A = this chain, B = another copy of it.
Amino acid sequence: MKQDEKIPYKVYLTEDELPKAWYNVRADMKNKPAPLLNPGTGKPLQAEELYPIFCKELVAQELDNDNPFIEIPQEIRDCYKMFRPSPLVRAYFLEEALGTPAKIYYKFEGNNTSGSHKLNSAMAQAYYAKKQGLKGVTTETGAGQWGTALSMACAFFGLDCKVYMVKVSYEQKPFRREVMRTYGASVTPSPSTETEVGKRILAEHPGTTGSLGCAISEAVEAATTREGYRYVLGSVLNQVLLHQSIIGLEAKTAFDKIGVKPDIIIGCAGGGSNLGGLISPFMGEKLRGEADYRIIAVEPASCPSFTRGKFAYDFCDTGKVCPLAKMYTLGSGFIPAPNHAGGLRYHGMSTILSQLYHDGYMEATSVCQTDVFKAAEQFARVEGILPAPESSHAIKAAIDEALRCKETGEEKTILFGLTGTGYFDMFAYEKFHNGEMSDYIPTDEELAASLASLPVVE
């Protein structure tokens, strides 16, 4: 291995160096993300209207467009110590395999039982729920990372946890369910007959394999019809991006420690939790004109909200019980083709990232599933870590950028978010090995049909 003497393979921060506050990128945005609207009145939602759904402190964070830093309570910093800091890794072996002059780094968030960065927000949300004296929380999960993370957080803080899991994932990932059970959570495949909205969706789409949008509807109904419960969400929301800023803050501190500045920052994008967290302090510098970075969102070609969606107000869920958010969306009825293996299956996108993309602060690209798994396998073999399908979207884009550097001879520094591990995704890897994976991409007609259901907002 050809190693730069000054750059270790991994940088771990010490406990003293860990961030004590989350960074709220909204404070530095000139064009703030559009407010959530009440689906009934079409008016911006007030805090009071959100209290039946979310914990009070989380509502405050959701609506806070002004404070650049929000202190991380000591209790959350304590549990962050269980799985943080996450390492910033220099991908020396990948660089060597590619023969690129580029310098590739990744921030690896998979070294915890949930297998991903999701735990960063789960711990925070469970803490606030407990602090408010709640009995439990409900949520949805797609690939299962968020559900696992929330189960862990609820076990830690002593809360009941009810997870609606997208049916196709529930069936493909039986062991995810057992992990959640180990942490005391109950898991229901969605759509289910447990909720009114689930029954309605099943009646309208018999045989559906489910979607995040459906599962959200069910989880919200379950939370709002139970005493002492609230709903929590693992992506999309402003509060989630706030909590996930810990990823970018740690990465930036680690880079500063070794005197490196990335040129390109790449993250996979489903609802935006990882990407928003990873880029936040860098985006802050860019917004304040202090530095420039190329920032690239990578999404699946089978669920291309940035690259083929519309920037408009839409429902956050399939059952249309949630507030309206202005975001890049494929329409709340959009469900990725059943062959789509990993997460990143949400029809919309974080309003923060949507606004930043709309304003030209970041780029977006989409990649095909089999290319993603090829990149995943290449990465696994040289860097050791078997990546989650989601994270592998970022790997694919990082490899492409590094190969471009090889052509041009540029020594660019690339940072990508390795959000998690694929240990519970071996069903998808098996399909890939057996050549049974397809790259179905929605047609223009399909997208137009699903976008036709966008609500009219004045």
Contacts and interface: CB of A to CB of B under 8 A. Distances in A.
Contacts of A112: 384-385
A109 to B, nearest CB: 12
Nearest to A89: B82
Contact of A182 (B3, B111, B152, B433): B433
A111 B111 contact: yes
21 contacts: A8-B15, A9-B81, A10-B81, A82-B93, A82-B384, A112-B385, A113-B380, A113-B423, A156-B384, A175-B175, A175-B427, A175-B430, A178-B427, A178-B430, A179-B429, A181-B429, A181-B433, A182-B433, A183-B380, A183-B381, A423-B423
A1 interface: yes
B156 A382 contact: yes
A421 B82 CA distance: 15
B12 A385 contact: no
A184 interface: yes
Given A12-B12, A184-B381, A424-B423, A178 B81 contact: no
Interface string A248-275: 0000000000000000000000000000
Interface string A50-69: 00000000000000000000
Interface of A: 1, 3, 8-10, 12, 14-15, 75, 78-79, 81-83, 93, 111-113, 115, 152, 155-156, 174-175, 178-179, 181-184, 377, 380-386, 421, 423-424, 426-427, 429-430, 433
A113 B383 CA distance: 10
Nearest to A430: B178
A424 B12 CA distance: 27
Contacts of A175: 175, 423-424, 426-427, 430
Contact of A155 (B3, B75, B178, B381): B381
A3 B82 CA distance: 13
Given A82-B384, A178-B426, 9 more contacts: A3-B78, A8-B15, A9-B81, A113-B386, A155-B380, A155-B381, A175-B175, A175-B424, A182-B433
A5 to B, nearest CB: 11
A67 to B, nearest CB: 26
A396 to B, nearest CB: 16
Contacts of A377: 182
Contact of A421 (B113, B174, B386): B113
Q: Which of A15, A183, A384 has the most CB of B within 10 A?
A: A384
Contacts of A81: 1, 8-10
Contacts of A427: 175, 178
A269 to B, nearest CB: 25
